[in-house]
Amino acid sequence: MSSNTVYFITGANRATGLGFGLVKAFASRPNTVVFATARNPDTATELTDLAKANPNVHVLKLAVDSEADTKRVAAEVERITGGIDVVIANAGILSYTGSGLQTPIAAVEEHFRINTLGPLILFQALYPLLKARQTRKFFVVSSGAGSIKDIMPLAITAYGSSKAALNYITRRLHSEHLEEGFVIIPLSPGWVATDMGNAAATSVGIEKAPLTVEQSVAGQVKLIDNAGKEESGRFWSFDGEEIAW
């Protein structure tokens, strides 16, 4: 079993994305192993180049909504390290904007499959690997758009509802595994100038999202490092502020 701190991060395919930013941040530390997943590693050139330059980074092919894929990846991680300290379920989509009246049901189903079921599939597959270590941290990258109390003035019915449902699942997992020493947290990265964040911005007439990837990643890393049982089961922003459900 690896004595290094082992991180598992999904959705790391885009060089301008949060997942890739998180991989870079943790891979730069000594005594770490980082598993970074992408749906299609062959097109994730920057990620594969990073792995070539850093033998502590392992790139894994993963469709997060596939149970078979996730079980295969879990077996590969177990073979290499025997366990995982920190999981960051970052993979997600925002592929349709529109009001509830306009939104196709197929778009809602697609968002729920990736954004809501993907992290649950991941937790079910990686649970034994997390339990094999003492840290046992599981973060899901949610969104302020998933808050029902402070609903955003954006026409993102499919995306927002999928994140609200994800928040419930995360809170449920927290209550079920708190006594086992798990720290399970939904984490909002803020409105970040990624492809997804900028698409949401332009849909409401804004040139780009206000936060840089570097700003969001720095805040997320600090929260991930410091979060413990007192923070578990609560909805946190990257800047350390608690968000209303």
What is the Cα Rg of the chain in Å?
A: 17
Which residues share a beta bridge with 186?
Answer: 140
Residue 44, CB half-sphere, CA atoms under 13 Å: how many?
A: 26
Active site residues: 159, 163
Q: Which three-class secondary structure string do you get for 87-127?
A: EEECCCCCCCCECCCCCCHHHHHHHHHHHHHHHHHHHHHHH
